[in-house]
């Protein structure tokens, strides 16, 4: 006999299921802070920061391996999971609604009503509450940046920037990765250390923006 999905059903299953949950929470954050629909490159950028900064929140990273594609981060696994969410109507590809083109330049995603309902169910689990809070903090920190600089701050990131990662190189995220180490160094150098994880994320984004502007 069939039954309605529960939070337990949605939370079960391992890495692939968890990755879809990360995507829904990040897209929910973009909608909450008025940044939806979000272009594909920007979505992968926020997934990148979710990967390298997740140890700050004591979370497992959604994708362990990062690919530097051209000058931006890209996750084939996440893109595949995203397309599955589009097919299941949890996510809408707003960029394809009126443009007949297969190029990713047209792709722009937003969470659907079904996606919001699923994210709400996931957020009732212990894992979901923590990932939802982190995802929303991440998007909020990004939303506070100068719009003309925001997408380029990754070029200043200690894990990703030239000299640390080459084009087409694949690199594995570790709990003690360079971004986390730099964040802790910046925090120690401040007159007043961040009070919580959210403050740490905001501080790191502000640091990257200041480094780019210098």
Q: Predicted confidence band at 142 (pLDDT cuts at 50, 70, 90)? A: very high
Query: Does position 81 have pLDDT exceeding 70, yes or no?
Result: yes
- What was the pLDDT predicted at 193? 66
Span of 23-32, 46-55, 61-70, 116-125 with lowest mean pLDDT: 61-70
Average pLDDT (93-111) is 67
In the predicted structure, residue 128 carries a pLDDT above the cut 50 = yes
Task: Mention every residue, 6+ apart, whose C-beta is less than 8 A from residue 192.
Answer: none
Token digits of residue 159: 């894990």
DSSP state for residue 159 in the 8-state scheme? T
The answer, yes or no, to whether residue 129 has pLDDT greater than 50, is yes
Which two three-digit tokens encode residue 44? Answer: 């992968």
pLDDT at 144 over 50: yes
Q: Please tell me the predicted confidence (pLDDT) of residue 23.
A: 95
Q: Which of 164-168, 177-181, 183-187 has the highest mean pLDDT?
A: 177-181
Is pLDDT above 60 for 202? yes
Domains of the chain, residue spans: 7-213
Q: Please give the pLDDT value at position 14.
A: 44
Measured N-to-C along each axis, helices 113-122 and 15-32 cross at an angle, to the nearest 10 degrees, of 120
The position carrying tokens 């490159």 is 41
Q: Is 13 helix (H, G, I), strand (E, B) or coil?
A: coil
Statement: residue 1 has pLDDT above 50? no
* Per-position DSSP letters for 2-66, written without gaps between them: -----HHHHH-SSHHHHHHHHHHHHHHHHHHTT--SEEHHHHHHHHHHHHHHGGGGT---S-SEE
Examine the pLDDT at 104 and tell me if it is beyond 60. no
pLDDT at 187: 83
């Amino acid at each position: 006999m069939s039954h309605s999905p529960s939070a337990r059903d949605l939370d079960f299953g391992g890495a692939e299921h968890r990755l879809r949950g990360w995507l829904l929470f990040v897209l929910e954050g973009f909608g909450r802070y008025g940044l939806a629909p979000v272009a594909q490159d920007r979505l992968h950028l926020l997934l990148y920061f979710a990967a390298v900064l997740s140890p700050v929140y004591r979370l497992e990273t959604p994708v362990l391996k990062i690919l530097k594609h051209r000058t931006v981060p890209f996750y084939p696994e996440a893109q595949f999971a995203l397309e599955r969410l589009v097919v299941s109507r949890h996510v809408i590809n707003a960029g394809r609604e009126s443009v007949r083109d297969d190029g990713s330049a047209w792709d722009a995603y937003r969470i659907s009503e079904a996606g919001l309902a699923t994210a709400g169910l996931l957020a009732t689990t212990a894992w979901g509450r923590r990932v939802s809070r982190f995802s929303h903090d991440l998007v909020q920190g990004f939303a506070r940046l100068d719009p003309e600089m925001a997408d380029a701050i990754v070029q200043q990131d200690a894990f990703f920037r030239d000299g640390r990662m080459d084009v087409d190189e694949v690199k594995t995220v570790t709990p003690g990765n360079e971004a986390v180490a730099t964040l802790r160094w910046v925090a120690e150098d401040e007159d007043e250390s961040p009070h919580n994880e959210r403050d740490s994320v905001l501080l790191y984004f502000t640091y990257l923006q200041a480094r780019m502007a210098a």
